[in-house]
Amino acid sequence: MAKSEQKAEKDIRPPVVAILGHIDHGKSTLIDYIRKTNVTGAEAGGITQHINTYEIVHTSKDGREKHITFLDTPGHEAFSNIRIHCANVADIAALIVSAEDGVKPQTLEVLKQIKECHLPYLVVITKIDKPSADILRTKQNLAENEIYVEGYGGSTPVVALSAKTGEGVDEFLEMIGLISELEEKMADRDALGSGVIIESRRDAKRGIVAVGIIKDGTLRPGLFAAAKAGQAATHGTIAPIRFLLDAEGKLVDELSFSSPVQIVGWDKMPTIGEEFKTFLKKDEALAFAAPTSGKADIPIQIQSDIKKNFSFLPMVLKADTAGSLDAVTGELKKLSRERIAPQVILSGIGGINENDVKSAIAATGAIIIGFNTKVEPRVILLAERSGITILVFNVIYELTDKIKELLSEREPRMEIETIIGISKVLKLFGITKGRQIIGGRVLSGQIKRGSIVKIIRRETELGVGKVKELQQSKIATDSVNEGVEFGAMIESKIEVAPGDILDAVILVTK
């Protein structure tokens, strides 16, 4: 008889809460206050660029201890996929809105994701300690964007708080407890642990590490973890669980439902958002990870329609985690210009190595881009000897700004004809050896000595000529402006006639 059949009663599963909202609205600062740590200060540029998982114990007003797992998500628009994964794995969403700024683009984006996941949520108005904070105005702003909280035309719970002073934080945690009790998510502690991968990375000492949220059962050393393949792979991945790490990287004997877990030793990089399960036997894990369709490996490429005068900026892209790689790749896709686009020839997770340099050498003009990655000194020396540029960034908008600059510098230049003036031929004074003396008037713009002119008769272009000499009032000049009559020597194989239009053009490099 299966374990799930042996135990009729399941346990109430603690809530997993996704902290979602616009950048710089106080998501990480709120978690900092709850955990009494300084996580925000550790993030490059003071903005969250990874999923961060935290498990806390909150003592409710009635004296009961309640476990809550928080998923702190990046607010920058580049990390949209990370927010989607977190919304999918969470039980409750906390929609963070600043009392200073109100509803912003990412506020509406994450609200859409919350609704698509059918996720219960509460609105958290932050920064109420700020001089410019206005709770009533913020609630009105929410209503204007069809987010109807309690007291403002709706039933969505709302809490106003300050992560600096702590005002309202207890009410926030109590509200999470109340919503969790109403949802009453159940799980079986005796089952073999299973959950969802929310991040993966390559550790220099331990190999491939995946962070997951346990949705059911318990994980212990001695089991085998397995995850199915993502869209771009033919088969999944497995890991023998020799030891367990909690969210903070501490060794633990076991972890159960709703807890974050770090599983070490995967044979391939697990795909974010995929389910993982644990098994007693390795063969069972391999069977779960086996391919279910004939999917082929698809390298990450940023494609554009190839057209005349179009070019690419080839690059090797490395990032610290799968989530970061996904975010950077997504941002690069937005940077294509009219005649040039980024092209990722190789991508991966982990530090920049010799193979990355060799791959860049093989592609003319390639550069290496790292995001939150390290480069060994010997790799730097190899790149310098080979003329390969390595650029490493810790803040995503600094990376995209630099790529924009490089694309602008390398974009192919084109010579474009620009009309600088239109003239009308009034008289023809003589023709000698392909050179014609004419009298004319500038209708618009100006005509210049040395200009190329298109000869147009009855709206049909007959050919081109060149202004060899130019006079105004029988005095040689370099240019004649609109409304002024002139004399000119035009060099052309086409015989010019009175009434012809001369379009003076120059070639402008753009």
Pairing mode of beta strands 485-491, 435-448: antiparallel
Residues 131 and 25 occupy one common structural domain: yes
Residue 406 sits in the same domain as residue 423: no
pLDDT averaged over the chain? Answer: 85
Domain match, 28 and 167 both: yes
- The three-class DSSP label of residue 38 is coil
In contact, 467 and 438? CB cutoff 8 Å: no
**Distance from C-alpha of 22 to C-alpha of 108, rounded to nearest angstrom:** 9
CA 20, chain centre distance (Å): 16
In this predicted structure, the answer to whether residue 135 has a pLDDT above a threshold of 90 is yes
Find out whether 440 and 429 touch, Cβ atoms under 8 Å. Answer: no
The verdict on 275 and 126 lying in the same domain is no
- For residue 11, what pLDDT is reported? 86
Which pLDDT score, from 0 to 100, does residue 321 have?
A: 87
Nearest CA-CA partner of 317 in 295, 338, 305, 335: 335
Three-class SS state of 489:
strand
CATH code of the domain covering residue 250? 2.40.30.10
**Cα gap 369→343, rounded to integer Å:** 12
Q: How many folded domains does the chain comprise?
A: 4
- Mean of the pLDDT values across residues 258-277? 91
Question: Which tokens hold the place of 470?
Answer: 């130019």
| Region 416-444 average pLDDT | 91
Tens of pLDDT, residue by residue over 293-311, are 544 444 444 444 445 568 8
> Alpha-carbon distance 48 to 327, whole Å?
13
pLDDT, one tens digit per residue, over 7-56 is 446 888 999 998 888 777 778 888 888 887 444 444 444 434 456 788 88
**Radius of gyration, CA atoms only, the chain:** 33
How confident is the model over 436-468, as pLDDT tens digits?
999 999 999 999 998 999 999 998 999 999 999
The shares of helix, strand and coil residues in the chain, as percent rounded to the nearest 5, are 25, 40, 35
Q: How far is CA 443 from the centre of its chain?
A: 52
pLDDT at 82: 58
Of 351, 193, 203, residue with least CA distance to 266: 203
Tokens representing 30 are 């709120």
Whether residues 258 and 364 fall in one domain: no
- Position 172 pLDDT exceeds 70: yes
Measured distance CA(98)–CA(161) in Å, rounded: 10
Q: What percent of the chain has pLDDT over 90?
A: 52
Question: What pLDDT was estimated at residue 27?
Answer: 80
Query: What is the pLDDT, as a whole number, of residue 342?
Result: 92
Q: For a pLDDT cut of 70, what percent of the chain falls above it?
A: 88
Structure tokens belonging to residue 55 = 């498990």
Q: Quick one: pLDDT band at residue 136, thresholds 50, 70, 90?
A: very high
| 35 and 173 inside one domain | yes
> Residues 332, 434: one domain?
no
Q: What is the pLDDT of residue 390?
A: 95
Residue 76 CA to residue 48 CA, distance in Å, equals 8
Question: Is the per-residue pLDDT at 84 higher than 70?
Answer: no
Are residues 176 and 94 in contact, defined by beta-carbon separation less than 8 angstroms?
A: yes
Domain membership of residue 122 (yes or no) is yes
- CA 506 vs. chain centroid, Å, equals 41
**Are 168 and 34 members of one domain?**
yes
DSSP label at residue 45: G
Residue 244: CB partners within 8 Å, gap ≥ 6?
Answer: 219, 220, 221, 251, 252, 253, 254, 255, 261, 262, 263
Mean pLDDT of all residues in 82-110: 82
Per-residue model confidence (pLDDT) at position 50:
54
Structural domain including 218 reads 194-289
